[in-house]
Amino acid sequence: MPTGPSAIRELSFADVDRIREQFEPLNPWRDTLKTPFLKLEQENFDSNGERRQLYAYCISAKLYCLFNLDGNRLLVRKPSGHGLGFLQPPYTVADWQRTRGLRWEEDLPPWIFEAWDFILSRELGLPHEPPRWLKQPAVMAIPISTPQVLARLGCFKDSLRPFTTVTVPFPKKEVSQLWTGYFIMPYTEKLNDLHGRPMVNVVSGATFYIYDKKSLTSSKSPGCSEDDGRRN
C-alpha cells in the first residue's frame, strides 16, 4: 500500500470469474456436460441463491472448513471430517432430529459442524460455548471383521467372537498410570454414561475405570484412569 504496510489485493467476484474463464479451453466437459472447469459449489451461495463471501480455515490438505461470517455470526458451510470421522458420534442424527424437530440434510453428522463452529469461533475471538458433549469420553467403535483385527486384541483374541463390535476409548495417560497397548470395553451407542465403567487393557488384561474429575462422585478405585474427553 502507498502509505502503509504491504498487502495482498482483494479480488472481486468479477475478477474471480475472469480467472475461471481462462481455464475453460482446458475443459473436457464444456460441450457434453455443460459444466465449468472451475465450478462454483453451492457453498458460494446463500439460501436465496445470492453469492456470498466464503472463508476457509485450513490446517492441512484434508483438514479444513469453509464458512461464512455475518458480523459476529459464523455459519459453517463445508467442514472436513478428516481426523474426526473415526470417532464415535456423541449422539445420533436421529437424536438431533428428535430434539430439534428438523431433518438433517448434510452428509456429515451434526456434531462435526458443532466441533468446527467451536474451533473457528475460538480462533476468531467470536462468542462461543463449548459443545455439551465435549467432556464425554472420546471413543471409536471397532468391528472384529477380519483375522488381522482379531489378532490385535492381545489376550482377548481367543475370547471374543468374530463380528463382535467393541468400543475403544482414548484415555489420558497419567504419570502414575502408565500402560502399553490400548483398551476395549463392551460396545455402546450412548457415550454419556461411560464414566465409572470398566475398560480392559488388551496387553495385561488389567481393568481400569473411566472417570472425569468434574463428574466423579466417589473416590478412585485402584487402577483408575482419567478420560479427559479429548475431542478438542
**Which parts of the chain fold into alpha helices (H)?**
13-22, 93-100, 110-124, 147-151
Strand blocks (E) in 72-206: 73-79, 139-143, 165-169, 183-186, 198-201
The pLDDT of residue 151 is 86
Q: Is the pLDDT of residue 142 over 80?
A: yes
The pLDDT of residue 212 is 63
Between 32-46, 107-121, 209-223, the lowest mean confidence (pLDDT) is in 209-223
Which residue(s) pair with 70 in the sheet? 73
Average pLDDT over residues 30-36: 86
The pLDDT of residue 230 is 39
Give the CB-side neighbour count of residue 55, counting CA atoms within 13 A: 10
Q: Is the pLDDT of residue 106 over 90?
A: yes
pTM of the entire structure? 0.77
Residues whose CB is less than 8 angstroms from the CB of residue 90 and which lie 6 or more positions away in sequence, other chains included: 111, 131, 133, 136, 191, 192, 231
Residue 194 CA, distance from chain mean position: 20
Cell readout for 200 is 480392559
Q: Is the pLDDT of residue 35 over 60?
A: yes
Q: Which amino acid is at 158?
A: D
Cell readout for 32 is 457434453
Q: Using 50, 70 and 90 to split pLDDT, how confident is the model at 45?
A: very high
Q: Is the pLDDT of residue 217 over 70?
A: no
Using DSSP, state whether 174 is helix, strand or coil: strand
pLDDT in tens, 152-205: 888 888 888 888 899 999 887 665 566 677 899 998 887 877 888 889 988 888
Q: Which amino acid is at 104?
A: W
Q: Is the pLDDT of residue 232 over 50?
A: no
Which of the 8 DSSP states describes residue 94?
H
Q: Are 99 and 154 spatial neighbours (Cβ–Cβ below 8 Å)?
A: no
The proportion of the chain whose per-residue pLDDT surpasses 90, expressed as a percent, equals: 44
Q: Is the pLDDT of residue 15 over 80?
A: yes
